[in-house]
Structures are given as C-alpha cells and as structure tokens.
Amino acid sequence: MRILVTGASGFIGRALCRALAARGHEVRAAVHRKAGDSSDGLAAFAEPVEVADIADEADWPAKLAGIDSVVHLAAIAHRTADAAAIRRVNVDGTARLARAAAGCVRRFVFLSSVKVHGEESGERAFVETDAPHPEDAYGRAKLEAERSLQEIAAGSGMELAVLRPPLVYGPGVRANFLRLLRWVDSGWPLPLGAVRNRRSLIYVGNLADAIVRAVEHPQAAGTTFLVSDAEDVSTPELIGRLARALGRTPRLLSVPPRWLLLAGGLSGRTGAIQRLTGNLAVDCSAIQSRLSWNPPFTMTQGLAETARWFRSARN
C-alpha cells in the first residue's frame, strides 16, 4: 500500500514511518520545512516530500498522486500558541488536506487526542461514547477537525479512522515528559508521594502499531478509538518506574495533594499540578476487540527504551 504521512519528521511520525516500512508499505513522508524540522534519516524508509505550509498547501493533488491512504499527524500542540494559530493548522489545514484526498484516497487516518474528552476522567476511564468536553484550544480544535473530517468522508465515500491517544512517550519525547525525565534523573525529591491517581499513557511504538492497524484493518473504516498501553499508573508509580529505568532511586515526599493544588494556584501552575495529581484514564478495549489490537510493548519495555534514549542523548 502507498501511504502519505504528514508530520513525518516528528516524534510520532518517524516511529510510524519505520513501522509502515517494516510492514512492506511504500511511505511518502510530508515534511514541513521550518526551523528545527528535519527529514534527516527519513529517506532510509520513506520518500520525503516538502510541504510549505500545512494550512495553505496548494499542491496536495500532486503529493497525493498514487496514494492509497493518508495518515495525518501534523498539528500544533504547543500551549504557548494562540487559539487562532492552533485552529488554522489543526482544523483548516486538516480539512484542506482531507478535501484534496477525498477524490483519490481510500482511507484517511487522523490522529486526534484524548483531550477531546477533557482533562479529567473522574472515577472511571473515558470510553469513545462519552460526550466530548474539551477544555483548551488544542482539544477544541481536535474535536472540530474530527467533525469536519466526518462531513468530508460522508460526502465522498472516503473511509475515515480516528485515534485518540493520551500522553505519548518514547525515544525523542519532548515537553512535559522530558522535563519529568530530567527531574527524576537529577535525584531531587518530588512532592508527589501522597498522590493516588490513575493515568493512561502510550509508548510511541504502541501508538505507531495502532496506527498501522487502523490503516490496514477492514473494520477500522468509520471508527473512532481511544488507545493506550492498556496499563494505567499513578504519578508516584510512574516516577518509580522511570527512576528504576534510569538506574536511580525514586525520591518522593508525601505532600497532601490539596497543598500542591494550593501552591499551584499561588504560582500560576494549577494546570500542571492538576495533570500530575488528577485522573486521566482511557479504556482501549474497543480497539482491542474490533481490530484485534494489543500493545506489542509493555510499559516497562517502553520506559526502558525511553531511558536508554535519554541516557544516550545526554552523552
């Protein structure tokens, strides 16, 4: 199968392109030429093609020539980006690509986010049928993009599959997970020992495998799935596992979560504290049942690979 992957030079995109090539697919890797974006190494398992701007690209028909399926990963996720910029790329850019693909591509796989459901899952895990309740510009844009894609697919006959992952980790990870790695590796104690929460994560290798399944499986057409490692952890347990993977002794102080939230409010970091102390779990049994998908890597294996990358990147 010939597959176009957008966002191919990113953290998830590189893992996906390797996974697709390993399955014998021909991969065309759409790369946005901007500061810090690089197609280095992609040519070993994909055909890189340059995209000027995901929201304004006028040459999609040429880039889609001969393509059977599209996997759309490209997005803005930065919390510092303004809502207009997030919407322009994540909604308008997605719709522009989908309209170009609708006349020639059999299946369109879209990487959405658990943030479509919200920031807090409460006492039980989110399931796909839960009402959407996005709380930030990124989550709202992902939901709007999903709805635009559904309209385009319904009017064209193009098959649509949507995946909603939680936090993704693995070699090359950035942002909050990388900061947590650095803190755990530093040996400084973290005041999270009293937290009793439940969080879902997904290793990038597991996510890539789930996307491949969504591309290949006949029953993926017209579906939306939550995906994860199928193993939830509390924040203290995650820190303990990371510490062991890094060869460190976990150092946790038992500070009441309400004190942490108070401190977060005073310092303007309420959101960060809520993410460390709250529940955000997903039920991935639907994709396991319908597509016969199970994560090929355990969380222990994923954290070990992440730790190895982190160590090698520091040396």
Rounded CA gap, 38 and 159, in Å? 30
Q: Residues 11, 60, 138, 310: which is the catalytic one? A: 138
DSSP 188-220: --BS-TT----B-EEEHHHHHHHHHHHHH-GGG
Check if 203 is active-site: no
Catalytic residues: 138
